Chains A and B, each alone.
Chain A
């Protein structure tokens, strides 16, 4: 079955530090990959996505590249801000069949950025 593994948190950084949150996956076929963000007290918002190998998703300074050879989709940001403090979820959706559109999530990584 599908699975997503994220690096364990919490991750604590100073403002303007470089961020990497690792994500690896196991899936059949060619899944689509997503990063969602959950700010305190809110629901989930899509941060970025990639639908095929070597695609790079980007948004709000965050980037992630779909690496099929290493089955990874690591999230990066060059300079984090206090407002980036949130929980980040890596997820995948399988292609085709009865699995259309359903997401399998990683366990989430809590990011705290200090001034």
Chain B
């Protein structure tokens, strides 16, 4: 069966520090991969998605970047964090093609920028 893991689960970072959140998917090949953010008191917003290695699409302009160095690895990064980057970050995957396919989410990572 397929599983998705992301880490770290919780982190507190000072303003201006770098960020790296990692996500891996097991049990499937060539998945679509996604990073979502859930800001406090707000809904989920799609940040990035990827349909293949090295292929990244950004949905909103921001202080963050994403990379996909391997088929089942998706990394969310920042060179210098802002206070507004605080939130709950969720990695997700889905099978390629067909919009009716379910998107499966990881456990999430709580980021607090202080």
Contact = CB atoms under 8 A, between A and B. Distances in A.
B and A form one assembly: yes
Interface of A: 31-32, 34, 36, 42-46, 49, 51, 89, 91, 93-96, 98-108
Interface residues of B, number: 27
A97 B36 CA distance: 20
B42 A93 contact: no
Contact of A51 (B44, B100, B103): B100
Nearest to A100: B99
B101 A101 contact: yes
Contacts of A99: 99
A106 B103 contact: no
Contact of A43 (B34, B99, B105): B105
B74 interface: no
Contact of B32 (A95, A96, A101): A101
B44 A43 contact: no
Contacts of A46: 102-104
